[in-house]
Structure 1
Amino acid sequence: MKNVLMICLIAILSSCDASTTPTDMNAKNIIELVNANNINGVKEALEAGANVNTTDNQNRNLLLLATLNSNTAMAKLLVEHGADVNMQAKNLDSAFLYAGASGQTELVKLYLANGARFDVFNRYYGSALIPACERGHVETVRVLATTPNYPIDHINRLGWTGLLEAVILGDGSKNYQEIVNILIENGSDISIGDRSGVTALEHAKAKRQTKIIEILTNVNK
């Protein structure tokens, strides 16, 4: 009887081990290597055939993980091996969208040069530009706003453009003044209002953002 029980136990344990396939282990390993910023380890894994678009349990691909960790060299390596800059996680983040939102200008440039799409949006139906405007990332805004055909006046789920977000959620300081100037210089439509029809100028007046009021008032003068 004891022998029978032992055989059954071994069979159950063997079945559990079999559920973890070599592919699962390889995926887990390369995700760990990326998170540890182990450049050489990741390079070796990719050269050995690891999938450059491996995802974790939140559907975050390796490139998004590198971007989340601000690991620029890792991101460059992954892009060189064909990583998808537009692949979205469960929360709809992508490497390109997150790079814009977090002000990682070098990565924004890299992703633009490697197929970044302008019709892929985050969970707020926002572009890479809108959160960059909100958070005062001047150089990132400059890169995106000057990119040919970039949707500078895209409206997110809240009813805001990048310009509206810079005024409504910004504090009117120098960075936000510069962002407003960049957007206007690159064709942003200051007449677009929020869901209630309130324009950026009207919001600036309500918030007493003196310098931004001057900038917006002087448009087309």
Structure 2
Amino acid sequence: MPSTLDSQLIAAAWKNEVAEAKRLITAGANVNAVDDTVQSAFLIAASEGYVELLDLTLAHGADVRSLDSYHGTALIRAAERGHAAVVGRLLQAGVAVNHVNNLGWTALHEAVLLGRGTPEYVDTVRLLIAAGADRNRPAVDDGTTPMQAAHDRGQKAVSAALDARADRGDLLSAATAGDANKAAAALAAGAKLESRDDHRRTPLLLASLNDRVDVARLLVRLGADPDIQDDRKDSAWLVTGVTGSVAMLETLLPADPDLALRNRFGGISVIPASERGHVDYVRRVVKTDINLNYVNDLGWTALLEAIILGKGTKPWQDIVQILVDAGADPGLADKDGVTPLQHAQSSGYDEIAKILRTAGAR
């Protein structure tokens, strides 16, 4: 029987009360302790898709080999429900991908047989394939393979993922083209997650450069590093400021990118985004912990670049407003002592000058 603390932790896990779970673990609760239904905080986090709680249990000694009442792993529980983000974390943690539960099914069987073929299940299947799941393994009871089950159930997108074949050398081209199924197959064939091309670009960087969100999501969930830089000092995260892709930004944030990583101009992602007029990107990135007053090698902040290299029209007006509202210093001058307001005035950008004067610039 679990201790009182363990029982309280299990109850907190069902409610996804992460702060309470932290308190109980600090007090001595065991993340692997099970109740009379063979539920632990770790297994609950996996089955319910509670990513933050799962990370907490993994950080405090979750046993990735632990099994539930069906003799199934946490991975099988997560795959059954299409919790792709959890599946990725469990694969990184080393949960066995081809474990068979007492129903005779692997995680891949459950993702297909009990899944709905929706995008989250497609992502789940791709992750399992990339990690080496056996697509042709027959179920113990009736001999159905995951591939047969997907075809029989009309799960076209899942079937496409299961049918895909690739060599290990195909990962970089698949990432560039945005073929997530082929990327998963290439990883299954032995491709390295951080492969490099002739310019030292990784698959994740190539996916980011070409705005291939499906591939990037696969790679991130498998643990790809968003901060690896190529021979031009670009990284997957840094180029989002150039492309302005909010979807890619959102895909990379769970990988905890270094927001202070510098490009070849000594700038961070918000600076080129401001220069290029990527309004939606700037609106989203200012909600992160990025430093809006970061100065690049030219002596310019994002605010200065929006004015000096922008066109003064509505997109750049919006960006200036977003930046100052989010805390960018309107009085921070360039290396020659020229302020954003002075640059706006000399360029005839009256609307931007008005925004800056309202913000208290001098």
Gapped regions of structure 2 (runs ≥ 5) = 1-166
Aligned length: 195
SS in 1 for 2:238: helix
Residues 51-104 of structure 1 deviation map (CA, whole Å, 9 limit, x = unaligned) = 111111111000111111221111111112111111100100001000122101
CA RMSD of aligned residues (A): 1.5
Of the candidates 133, 136, 149, which is equivalent to residue 274 of structure 2? 133
Q: Is the 8 A contact 2:171 2:186 kept in 1?
A: yes
Q: Given that residues 66 and 75 in structure 1 are in contact (C-alpha distance below 8 angstroms), is that contact kept between their aligned partners in structure 2?
A: yes
Q: Say whether the 8 Å CA contact 2:227–2:257 is kept in structure 1.
A: yes
> Aligned partners of 1:86 and 1:186: how far apart in 2?
25
**Cα displacement (A) at 1:49:** 3.4
Residue 225 of structure 2 is aligned to residue 115 of structure 1: no
Structure 2 Cα separation of the partners of residues 46 and 81 of structure 1: 10
Report percent identity of matched pairs.
38
Counterpart amino acid of residue 175 in structure 2: V
Counterpart residue number, 1:93:
234
Q: Of the candidates 337, 342, 346, which is equivalent to residue 197 of structure 1? A: 337
C-alpha separation in 2, matches of 1:188 and 1:160: 12
Cα distance in structure 1, aligned partners of 2:174 and 2:355: 48
> How far apart are 1:45 and its partner, in Å?
1.9
Match of 1:154 among 294, 299, 304: 294
* Aligned 8 A contact 1:27 1:54 in 2: no
Aligned ranges 1:8-157 → 2 under 5 Å: 28-147=169-288, 149-157=289-297
Q: What is the CA–CA distance in structure 1 between the aligned matches of 2:270 and 2:177, rounded to whole Å?
A: 29
Structure 1 position 29, deviation (Å): 2.6
Pick one of 174, 182, 185 that aligns with 2:322.
Answer: 182
Consecutive aligned runs of 4 or more in structure 1 exceeding 6 Å deviation: none
Q: Structure 1 CA distance, aligned partners of 2:199 and 2:233?
A: 10
Return the letter of the residue paired with 2:349: Q
Quote the Cα distance in structure 1 between the aligned partners of 2:285 and 2:181: 32
Could you tell me the TM-score, scaled by structure 2's length?
0.52
- Asked whether the 8 Å contact 1:85–1:95 carries over to 2, the reply is yes
Distance of 1:170 and 1:38 partners within structure 2: 35
Displacement after TM superposition at 1:27 (Å) = 5.5
Residue 34 of structure 1 and its aligned partner are, at CA, apart by 2.2
Tell me the CA shift for residue 220 of structure 1. Answer: 4.2
Secondary structure, counterpart of 2:237 in structure 1: helix
Q: CA separation of 1:27/1:156 partners in 2, compared to 1, >3 Å: closer, same or farther?
A: farther
Contact 1:155 1:161 survives alignment (8 Å): yes
Q: Contact between 1:109 and 1:143, CA under 8 Å: does it hold in 2?
A: no
Q: Which of 208, 215, 219 is matched with 2:355 structurally?
A: 215
d(CA) in 2 for partners of 1:105, 1:39? 19
Bigger Rg over Cα: 2
Amino acid at match of 1:178: D
* Letter aligned with residue 317 of structure 2: Q
| Structure 1 unpaired stretches of 5+ | 1-25
TM-score (norm 1): 0.84
Using the TM superposition, give the Cα deviation of residue 145 of structure 1 relative to its aligned residue in structure 2, in angstroms: 1.2
